[in-house]
Amino acid sequence: MITGGWHFVVAAYAVTLGGLAVLAVTVALRARGWAKRARELDAKRSAEQ
Amino acid sequence: MLSVFANPARFMQLSGWAAPLFAVLALVLFAVGVPWALIYSPADYQQGETVRIMYVHVPAAWWSLAIYGFMGVASFVGVVWRHALADVAARAAAPIGATFAGLCLITGSLWGAPTWGTWWEWDGRLTSMLVLFIIYLGYIALWNAVEDEEKAARLAAILCLVGLINLPIVHFSVVWWSTLHQPASVFRPGGSAIDPAMMGPLFAMAFAYMALFGALLLTNMRAAINRRRVEAARMRGANAA
């Protein structure tokens, strides 16, 4: 049986959870930015009408 | 069913509550799955503690393949029926699938080092998985390289459909060739070869990845629809001026 090996396990979980967290934050920030611009567009349009 | 989502306005309404719901579900499943995998599941009689890498590696592999399949279906629908959201869905899924494929390769390497004695081997499964990752990157690059969105969507859809040939190669690589990678051990004829005590955390993590994919896909699609609206308004403004 392979003994030890915890450092490989910790590295795998750190890379996975870190990678997924970075992906989630990037997607959320990008979506928030475009949602803000779309809201501004709607506000501008309703002000013009 | 698909026609319900064909209207971007209706999609925005539905995804407005579905995306946060998937996000909460993903957080709950990761909060359950990670401690289950790291603390409460048993060590393997041969691999010892390193078997715990399976709970992050295998779902990443499953979902990177499934997401590419989803992109293939969306690309086909986009090319054949010109569904309003099909290209948006395929494009939105690509960075998520690429991340899952990249994580599958890295965690596989971290699992291979202690169990096989090597970080990398050019065997059928590892190489075909690397090809899948490169196809994902190529698909994303193609979308960004072509300025005309209609043309980019058609070209990316064709690339995606051609790349589908790699999915059965990844899946059957361990059957067709003598590989260092083990054959299928969960979904296989004759039932799973994995101890039932390990199936719980494996499926908790698999569903966590699925819920995360749902949340990120819908959020990415919402961003794409908002971007199109803003850019269309900008173009109309520029043309009017």
Q: Using one digit for the tens of pLDDT, what is the confidence trace for B16-44?
A: 999 999 999 999 999 999 999 999 999 99
Give the distance from residue A17's alpha carbon to the nearest chain B alpha carbon, in angstroms: 9
Q: Which of B154, B119, B156 is nearest to B138 (CA)?
A: B156
Backbone angles phi, psi at B81, to 5 degrees: -105, -5
A13 in contact with chain B, both atoms CB, cutoff 8 A: yes
The span from the CA of A37 to the CA of B19, in Å, is 20
Query: What is the CB neighbour count within 10 angstroms for residue A14?
Result: 11
Q: Using one digit for the tens of pLDDT, what is the confidence trace for B70-105?
A: 999 999 999 999 887 999 999 999 999 999 999 999
Q: ipTM of the predicted structure?
A: 0.93
Contact yes or no for A4 and B226 at CB 8 A: no
Choose from A27, A29, A48 for mutation: most chain B CBs within 10 A: A27
DSSP symbols for A9-21 = HHHHHHHHHHHHH
Q: Using one digit for the tens of pLDDT, what is the confidence trace for B193-213?
A: 888 899 999 999 999 999 999
Q: Are B223 and B77 in contact (CB under 8 A)?
A: no
Q: Among all chains, which residue has been given the structure tokens 């409460």?
A: B40
The span from the CA of B126 to the CA of B134, in Å, is 12
Q: Which of B71, B86, B27, B34 is nearest to B55 (CA)?
A: B34
Using a CB-CB cut-off of 8 Å, the residues of chain B touching A19 are: 99, 102-103, 106
The span from the CA of A43 to the CA of A41, in Å, is 5
B212 in contact with chain A, both atoms CB, cutoff 8 A: yes
Quote the pTM value: 0.94
Q: Where are the domains of chain A?
A: 19-49
Judged by CB atoms within 8 Å, which residues 51-90 of B form the interface with A?
52-53, 56-57, 60
